[in-house]
Amino acid sequence: MQRVIITGASSGLGTALALCYAQRGAVLGLIARRKTELEQLATQLPSPALIYPADVRDAAALQAAAADFIAREGGPDIVIANAGVSTGTLTEFAEDLSAFQDVIDINVMGMVKTFQPFLAAMRAAGHGTLVGIASVAGYRGLPGAAAYSASKAAVISYLESLRVELRGSGVKVITICPGYIATAMTAHNPYPMPFLLSAEAAARRIAAIIDRGQAFAVIPWQMAVVARLLRVLPNRLYDRLFGNAP
């Protein structure tokens, strides 16, 4: 029976991942800020779940959650750092500075604080998988989404560093870069979202990638093609194409 930790579990992709792993019979540790939603989710799951209402910016709360889960169930087999936020930001507006800070703190430092308290147990066991949910938005800077793009670019690099650091330890690090997923986060996007996946379909694909132990993956595959093209576009052409994006 697998033991799986998921952050951002109270909605969207996090909930879909919880349902996916619960259907496999996993013992879950679910972390999110919203206690009521976590409690409701736990009642719907066909396998045991421990819930931890906590903000991923709070290192002490995550350390307490990790200690409790390990004491009850042992070290986790999989830790999925899924918690994340997105909001439009423009550098010229002073009122957006706090939004920049929140996005970086949650998306980047929240991932670091999620992994940190589980690593010692994973190293001691000589196995385990750390999974970071990044985004194709981290491939290039998107206008109006500087904080989000910067945070996901940072996450991609952070996960690569961590993967190399843990080489030979038995602990795997997996980077997942989704394209568009139908969640509350994307519901109000004022532009077309090609290759949109449901949260349930995305969760199944992510679980399959984790099963394979694939170090880096973009989902769906069509978005992987788009992401590679964007990455190699000359700056002059990229600027022209995206300069008028909504």
| Active-site residue set | 148
Determine contact, residues 17/206, Cβ cutoff 8 Å: yes
Q: Are strands 171-178 and 49-53 parallel, antiparallel or unpaired?
A: unpaired
Q: How far, rounded to the nearest angstrom, does the alpha carbon of residue 102 sit from its chain's CA centroid?
A: 15
**CA–CA distances in Å: residue 234 to residues 73, 146, 153, 209, 218:** 51, 19, 18, 31, 22
Report DSSP letters for 102-166, one per residue: HHHIIIIIHHHHHHHHHHHHHHHHT-EEEEEE--GGGTSPPTTBHHHHHHHHHHHHHHHHHHHHT
Length of the chain: 246
The token pair at 59 is 């290192």
The token pair at 14 is 């996090």
